[in-house]
């Protein structure tokens, strides 16, 4: 019953640590799959997948490529995202479009932070996986080490599917255990040669095959019975057992070879079709869940073409030739190009433009797309990555992309006044393409602030800004958004009186300010009894307080975490007005704060650093120097994770420092944790600095 209308489909993303060979492997898959005539190379900038100018310049992927091709009557949608930690939004989004994943392991490197994070998401999404151990043509790359990584770091049961033959620079084959054949191949031809297994490789193959048989037999009683009875399983039984074990994530079939030399790739490609689930099979095992955008009612979809149309947008980009494109994974139903649908995430109707298939930078027009397919749609006005599109009368909304927050911020300034508009326009376009990039004008510090996931991410954004919009900027350290609060209870009066001639002004109130626990913000209370201030003026007092809170008396930063109670006052029947009580409220608040032992608060960040073991001492020492508090340290086979609480002010230029301390092997992510009091010895300096700045601004 599987996809009778169209060809079978496999949607697969390739993920790994940066530089493990995803793009090279994608290229080799296309080559073996007959989609390209020659094997391109990342180093020469000739792969189908890495084509953007930034990718060619950096010689690494910076954006997810979609590679659609056909093999064995199966449509394969291969996604090749970048691996760098600061571009993690791309693979995280790609995972939402696929039904299975190929994990590339390389050399003796274990699971680094970026793959660790992806692995966590893969588990959440319960995506079936295959592993490809790449680079076996290189010195020091060992297959057993990779199996150990699967066991220890991915905490999975690896099942080797091949026996690598003569790993090293001249490697030209693997023994495919399922085929019981030696598969010979090389970079000069897309054809593989299947020959019988030479006698000296027979014991290794039998040993691997035995492991496979036992693993498969254990997954199902029927298979176990057959194995016990015959001492063997047929190829059909093996494939059937493997398929269901992969689909339910019971174990990880492990392939191996060299993407660069086109070795072992054919077996992997075969497995993509034979062992990975089709979209329908995946959703039969775990139905899709979405909610009604208005009622929140939960609905399930089985991912069939007969259901109402729904699709998930996992990437948007501006293509130089076709314009705005939204990459969509159709999850249910069928949709025609140029029809009108609902964007359930944004509650707006969208008129769909043309539909395209995508092969790297090449596009082909198609008229419709059905469940399981991936299609690029032109001209969507309000749709962003993470949105759900659906049939208007059957609305459903799937969960958002769940992307990490930016960690690194810069204040940016246009190189020339004439470029300010270009910068602003360009950056707004770039953030529409990339949900992990943030661009805001900070009302408090009056700066334009660009935030990203790391230095590479910011650099790439600026390169694109230059290339696509012809605008250049300079980067500065952004100002810190400090806050003020109080440490003691205090009371004060605010009396505003102007009663000379004509209609006068009269407002008078007594306020009590009390510290609130950190993060509680602001509470206003009316404790006036006996009509000392008429009820209708109380909101005006509150307004005055709120206005005064915007600029604290110490440094001009907003006041937070304060309970303000108005408890007494007086009024004048004629002269009292809202405005006079508002002014009185502001005056009383400022005075009360003076007596309340005001202090400065600074933003504290939770920082998670991963550093190679030999650099951990240096990293921890440096964190101490940054007023950081270590929260925990934990280790895996290759690196240690340090979790610390550090003031944002000490982290503004952390990325290059960590790089230098760890020889480029350290990575970190950070997130806002809370506001903490600035140590007294630093407070004076910060206050002086901001007062001086305010003076200069005022003088201009
Ligand atoms: N020796 C060798 N080098 C490889 C292999 N696969 C990839 N590389 C090289 O490793 C580098 C990173 O490869 P790339 O495919 O861009 O990795 P990605 O970041 O995972 O996409 C490039 O210089 C490739 O030429 C391989 O199987 N053997
Ligand atoms: Mg790549």
Quick: pLDDT tens for 214-234: 999 999 999 999 999 998 999
Supply the pLDDT for residue 697.
Answer: 55
Q: Which atom of ligand 1 is nearest to the CA of 259?
A: 27
DSSP alpha helix (H) spans, 611-675: 616-625, 654-661
pLDDT category at 4 given cuts 50, 70, 90 is very low
Burial bucket for residue 525 (CB in 10 Å: 0-12, 13-18, 19+) = middle
Secondary-structure breakdown of the chain: helix, strand, coil percentages, each rounded to the nearest 5 = 30, 35, 35
Question: Residue 263: which of 133, 101, 141, 146 has the closest Cα?
Answer: 133
Supply the pLDDT for residue 2.
Answer: 42
- Taken as a whole, the chain contains a residue count of 700
Among left, alpha and beta (phi > 0; psi -120 to 50; other), residue 644 is beta
| Helices (runs of H) and strands (runs of E) counted in the chain | 17, 36
CA of 484 to the centre of ligand 2 (A): 46
Question: Residue 172: which of 271, 258, 268, 270 has the closest Cα?
Answer: 258
- Provide CB contacts within 8 A for 206, sequence distance 6+: none
Percent of the chain with pLDDT over 90: 71
CA of 41 to the centre of ligand 1 (A): 9
Collapsing DSSP to helix, strand or coil, 252 comes out as strand
Protein residue whose Cα sits closest to atom 8 of ligand 1? 21
pLDDT at 6 > cutoff 80? no
pLDDT per residue as tens digits for the range 640-654:
889 999 999 998 878
DSSP alpha helix (H) spans, 286-440: 420-433
CA atoms within 13 A on the CB side of 406: 20
Best residue for ligand 1 mutational test, from 16, 17, 22, 24 (most atoms within 8 Å of Cβ): 24
Supply the pLDDT for residue 699.
Answer: 53
Q: CA–CA distance from 315 to each of 64, 163, 440, 450, 658 (Å)? A: 8, 38, 22, 21, 31
DSSP alpha helix (H) spans, 16-77: 22-32, 53-58
Best residue for ligand 1 mutational test, from 132, 146, 260 (most atoms within 8 Å of Cβ): 260
Taking residues 103-117, what's their average pLDDT?
A: 85
Ligand in closest contact with the CA of 106: 1
CA of 248 to the centre of ligand 2 (A): 28
Taking residues 313-323, what's their average pLDDT?
A: 89
- In angstroms, the CA 602 to CA 604 distance is 6
Measured in degrees and rounded to the nearest 5, phi and psi for residue 479 equal -75, 155
Best residue for ligand 1 mutational test, from 13, 42, 67, 258 (most atoms within 8 Å of Cβ): 42
Q: Which atom of ligand 1 is nearest to the CA of 135?
A: 27
DSSP alpha helix (H) spans, 412-537: 420-433, 455-469
- In angstroms, the CA 280 to CA 9 distance is 9
CA of 665 to the centre of ligand 2 (A): 18
CA of 47 to the centre of ligand 1 (A): 11
CA of 687 to the centre of ligand 1 (A): 52
Q: Which atom of ligand 1 is nearest to the CA of 261?
A: 27
CA of 22 to the centre of ligand 2 (A): 5
DSSP alpha helix (H) spans, 109-255: 113-124, 143-152, 202-217, 221-230, 235-247
Matching residue, tokens 């490609």: 269
Q: How far is CA 656 from the centre of its chain?
A: 22
**Which residues on neighbouring strands pair with residue 608, listed in sequence order?**
643, 669
Collapsing DSSP to helix, strand or coil, 596 comes out as coil
Ligand 1 binding site (Cβ under 6 Å of any ligand atom): 16, 18-24, 42-43, 60-61, 83, 134-135, 137-138, 258-260
- In angstroms, the CA 519 to CA 608 distance is 22
Ligand in closest contact with the CA of 63: 2
DSSP code at position 397: B
Handedness of CA 459, 463, 464, 466 (dihedral sign): positive
Best residue for ligand 1 mutational test, from 13, 17, 19, 114 (most atoms within 8 Å of Cβ): 19
Q: Which of 115-129, 416-430, 580-594 has the highest mean pLDDT?
A: 580-594
Q: Which atom of ligand 1 is nearest to the CA of 24?
A: 15
- In angstroms, the CA 678 to CA 480 distance is 12
CA of 142 to the centre of ligand 2 (A): 22
Supply the pLDDT for residue 604.
Answer: 92
CA of 189 to the centre of ligand 2 (A): 22
CA of 65 to the centre of ligand 1 (A): 16
Ligand in closest contact with the CA of 169: 1
pLDDT category at 76 given cuts 50, 70, 90 is very high
pLDDT per residue as tens digits for the range 368-403:
999 999 999 998 989 999 999 999 999 999 999 988
Mean pLDDT of the residues in the chain:
91
pLDDT per residue as tens digits for the range 237-285:
999 999 999 999 999 999 999 999 999 999 999 999 999 999 999 998 8
First CA to last CA across the chain, in angstroms? 75
Q: Which atom of ligand 1 is nearest to the CA of 18?
A: 19
pLDDT category at 612 given cuts 50, 70, 90 is confident
Q: CA–CA distance from 546 to each of 515, 539, 542, 567, 580 (Å)? A: 16, 10, 6, 17, 15
114 contacts 84 by C-beta, under 8 angstroms: yes
pLDDT per residue as tens digits for the range 155-197:
999 999 999 999 999 999 999 999 999 999 999 999 999 999 9
CA of 23 to the centre of ligand 1 (A): 7
pLDDT at 108 > cutoff 80? no
Count CB atoms within 10 A of the CB of residue 678. Answer: 23
Protein residue whose Cα sits closest to atom 13 of ligand 1? 21
Handedness of CA 159, 161, 162, 167 (dihedral sign): negative
pLDDT at 405 > cutoff 80? no
Collapsing DSSP to helix, strand or coil, 503 comes out as coil
E strands present in 246-387 = 252-256, 288-291, 298-301, 310-319, 323-332, 334-336, 340-343, 348-351, 355-359, 362-366, 368-370, 374-378
Helix (H) or strand (E) holding 662: none
CA of 21 to the centre of ligand 1 (A): 4
> Which is more confidently placed, 21 or 637?
21
Measured in degrees and rounded to the nearest 5, phi and psi for residue 293 equal -65, -25
Neighbours of ion ligand 2 (CB under 5 A): 22-23, 61
> Which is more confidently placed, 567 or 557?
567
- In angstroms, the CA 70 to CA 9 distance is 9
Taking residues 121-128, what's their average pLDDT?
A: 95
Protein residue whose Cα sits closest to atom 2 of ligand 1? 135
pLDDT category at 308 given cuts 50, 70, 90 is very high
Supply the pLDDT for residue 665.
Answer: 74
Q: Which atom of ligand 1 is nearest to the CA of 27?
A: 15
pLDDT at 489 > cutoff 60? yes
Question: Residue 505: which of 535, 540, 548, 539 has the closest Cα?
Answer: 540
Ligand in closest contact with the CA of 18: 1
Q: CA–CA distance from 658 to each of 177, 459, 468, 635 (Å)? A: 45, 17, 31, 18
- In angstroms, the CA 493 to CA 591 distance is 7
- Provide CB contacts within 8 A for 501, sequence distance 6+: none
Rg (CA), the chain: 31
pLDDT per residue as tens digits for the range 442-466:
776 778 889 888 778 998 999 999 9
Q: Which atom of ligand 1 is nearest to the CA of 20?
A: 20
CA angle 466, 471, 477 (to 5 degrees): 95
Percent of the chain with pLDDT over 70: 97
pLDDT at 1 > cutoff 50? no
Best residue for ligand 1 mutational test, from 16, 21, 30, 47 (most atoms within 8 Å of Cβ): 21
- In angstroms, the CA 84 to CA 99 distance is 22
Handedness of CA 557, 623, 92, 673 (dihedral sign): negative
CA of 17 to the centre of ligand 2 (A): 10
- In angstroms, the CA 574 to CA 222 distance is 94
């Amino acid at each position: 019953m599987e996809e009778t209308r169209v060809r079978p489909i496999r949607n697969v993303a390739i993920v790994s640590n940066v530089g493990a060979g995803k793009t090279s492997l994608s290229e080799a898959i296309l080559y073996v799959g007959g989609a390209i005539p020659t094997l391109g190379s990342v180093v020469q900038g000739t792969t189908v997948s890495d084509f953007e100018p930034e990718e060619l310049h950096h010689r690494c992927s910076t954006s997810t490529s979609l590679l659609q091709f056909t093999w064995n009557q199966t449509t394969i949608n291969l996604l090749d995202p970048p691996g760098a930690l600061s571009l993690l939004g791309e693979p995280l989004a790609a995972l939402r479009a696929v039904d299975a994943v190929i994990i590339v392991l390389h050399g003796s490197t274990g699971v680094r932070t970026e793959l660790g994070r992806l692995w966590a998401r893969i588990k959440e999404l319960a995506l079936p996986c295959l592993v490809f151990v790449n680079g076996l043509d290189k010195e020091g790359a060992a297959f057993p080490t990779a199996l150990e990584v699967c066991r220890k770091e991915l905490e999975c049961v690896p099942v080797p599917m091949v026996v690598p033959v003569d790993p090293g620079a001249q490697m030209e084959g693997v023994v495919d255990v399922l085929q019981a054949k030696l598969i010979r191949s090389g970079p000069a031809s897309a054809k593989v040669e299947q020959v019988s297994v030479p006698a000296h490789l027979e014991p290794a193959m039998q040993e691997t095959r035995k492991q496979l048989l036992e693993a498969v037999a254990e997954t199902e009683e029927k298979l176990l019975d057959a194995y016990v009875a015959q001492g063997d399983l047929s190829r059909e039984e093996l494939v059937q057992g493997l398929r269901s074990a992969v689909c339910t994530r019971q174990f990880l079939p492990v392939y191996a070879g060299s993407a660069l030399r086109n070795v072992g790739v054919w077996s992997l490609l075969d497995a993509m079709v034979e062992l990975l689930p089709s979209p329908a099979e995946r959703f039969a095992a775990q139905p899709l869940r979405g909610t009604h955008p208005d009622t929140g009612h939960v609905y399930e979809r089985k991912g069939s073409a007969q259901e109402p149309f729904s699709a998930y947008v996992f990437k948007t980009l501006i293509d130089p030739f076709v314009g705005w494109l939204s990459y969509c994974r159709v999850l249910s139903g069928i949709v025609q190009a140029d029809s009108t649908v609902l964007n359930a995430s944004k509650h707006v109707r969208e008129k769909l433009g043309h539909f395209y298939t995508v092969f790297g930078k090449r596009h082909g027009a198609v008229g419709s797309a059905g469940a399981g397919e991936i299609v690029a749609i032109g001209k969507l006005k309000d749709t962003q990555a993470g949105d759900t599109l659906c049939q208007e009368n059957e609305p459903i909304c799937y969960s958002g992309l769940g992307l990490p927050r930016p960690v690194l911020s810069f204040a940016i300034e246009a190189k020339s006044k004439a470029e300010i508009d270009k910068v602003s326009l360009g950056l707004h376009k770039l953030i529409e393409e990339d949900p992990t990039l943030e661009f805001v004008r900070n009302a408090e510090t009056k700066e334009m602030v660009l935030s990203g996931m790391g230095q590479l991410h910011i650099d790439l954004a600026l390169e694109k800004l230059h290339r696509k919009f012809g605008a250049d900027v300079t980067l500065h350290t952004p100002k810190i958004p400090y806050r003020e609060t109080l440490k003691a209870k205090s009371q004060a009066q605010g009396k505003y009186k102007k009663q000379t001639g004509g209609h006068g002004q009269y407002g008078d109130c007594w306020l009590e300010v009390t510290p609130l626990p950190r993060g509680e913000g602001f509470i206003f209370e009316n404790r006036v009894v006996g009509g000392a201030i008429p009820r209708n003026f109380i909101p005006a007092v509150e307004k005055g307080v709120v206005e005064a809170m915007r600029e604290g008396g110490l440094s001009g930063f907003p006041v937070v975490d304060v309970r303000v109670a108005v408890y007494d006052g007086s009024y004048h029947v004629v002269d009292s007005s809202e405005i006079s009580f508002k002014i009185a409220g502001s005056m009383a608040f400022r005075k009360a704060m003076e007596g309340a032992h005001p202090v400065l608060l600074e933003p504290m960040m939770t920082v998670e650093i991963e550093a190679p073991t030999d650099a951990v001492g240096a990293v921890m020492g440096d964190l101490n120097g940054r007023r950081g508090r270590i929260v925990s340290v934990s280790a895996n086979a290759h690196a240690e994770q340090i979790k610390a609480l550090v003031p944002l002010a000490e982290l503004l230029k952390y990325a290059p420092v960590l790089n230098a301390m760890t020889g480029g092997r350290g990575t970190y992510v950070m997130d806002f944790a809370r506001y903490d009091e600035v140590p007294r010895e630093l407070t004076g300096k910060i206050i002086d600095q901001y007062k001086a700045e305010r003076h200069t601004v005022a003088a201009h």
